[in-house]
Amino acid sequence: MSTSRYAAVIFDLDGVITDTARYHYLAWKRLADGEGVHFDEAANEHLKGIDRMGSLELILASATRAYSDAEKLALATEKNEHYKELIATMSPADLLPGAVAALDTCRAAGLKIGLASVSRNAFTVLDRLGITDKFDYIVDAGTIAKGKPDPEIFLKAARELGVAPGDCFGVEDAVAGVASIKSAGMYAIGVGDPAVLTEADQVIPDLAAFRIP
Ligand SMILES: O=P(O)(O)OC[C@H]1O[C@@H](O)[C@H](O)[C@@H](O)[C@@H]1O
Ligand SMILES: [Mg+2]
């Protein structure tokens, strides 16, 4: 039994538990430069929570020519190979402040713990961070038809945890992610700027400020 009114918590990974945005930026930046497309840190902000092909589409939206599906796939694969090289150096030192304490607090309170990341590298990142065994269920992004802001990924996590959506809360750093939680019918904790994450039920600066609602 949980000591909270909620029975489960579903965490996002990138930007909540660890900061991979920098690695995504470096990998997309090299690709954009190679294609002669403008891309900067501000543009990278809009890619948070957006899946790989969706991110590529946003980057290529400012390109001066059209790309075939085969070209897009090749570019996404090239970016991912570079990204994988970058995350290979990750370790538990890359856990954000409060991340492990938040997971352990949820465990001690009797909550089921899920992970809902659209990253197809989530299992690798969790392994590098050494926290895979802290989750009861991890959504495999390859099994999801629609990325965030669609509710599918949070609904799947709740279903696999055996908990009704209304008895779950989600934790997210991205606007698209908070929208996904809310449209799944869950309570949303935003991690970041309240002026940006306006749809969240509460916003905290980082997981060091995490409290079970
Ligand atoms: O390319 P991957 O590892 O499948 O990641 C997909 C997305 O995963 C999300 O978690 C990140 O916030 C996005 O920036 C990223 O594009
Ligand atoms: Mg995120």
Does residue 2 belong to any structural domain of this protein?
no
Mean pLDDT of 52-68: 95
Does residue 3 belong to any structural domain of this protein?
no
Beta-carbon neighbours within 5 Å of ion ligand 2: 12, 14-15, 49, 173-174
Q: Which of 10, 11, 12, 14 to mutate to test the pocket of ligand 1 (most atoms within 8 A of CB)?
A: 14
Q: Total structural domains in the chain?
A: 2
Does residue 34 belong to any structural domain of this protein?
yes
Q: Are residues 96 and 145 in the same domain?
A: yes
| Residue that finishes a domain, picked among 36, 58, 87 | 87
Q: CATH number, domain at 143? A: 3.40.50.1000
Q: Find the range with the poorest average confidence among 42-46, 66-70, 162-166, 199-203.
A: 42-46
Say what the ipTM of the complex is. Answer: 0.98
Do 50 and 148 touch, CB atoms closer than 8 A? Answer: yes
Do 10 and 122 touch, CB atoms closer than 8 A? Answer: no
Decide if pLDDT at 7 tops 70.
yes
Interval between CA 47 and ligand 1 midpoint (Å): 8
Q: CATH number, domain at 48? A: 1.10.150.240
Does residue 1 belong to any structural domain of this protein?
no
Q: Are residues 101 and 177 in the same domain?
A: yes
Decide if pLDDT at 1 tops 90.
no
Q: Which domain holds residue 162?
A: 8-19+92-209
Whether residue 55 has its Cβ less than 6 Å from ligand 1: yes
| Residue that finishes a domain, picked among 37, 55, 87 | 87
Q: Which atom of ligand 1 is nearest to the CA of 121?
A: 3
Q: Are residues 104 and 200 in the same domain?
A: yes
Q: Provide the whole-model pTM.
A: 0.95
CA separation, residue 112 to residues 9, 100, 153, 164, 186 (Å): 6, 15, 16, 12, 15
How far is it, in rounded angstroms, from Cα 133 to Cα 47? 28
Q: Are residues 104 and 75 in the same domain?
A: no
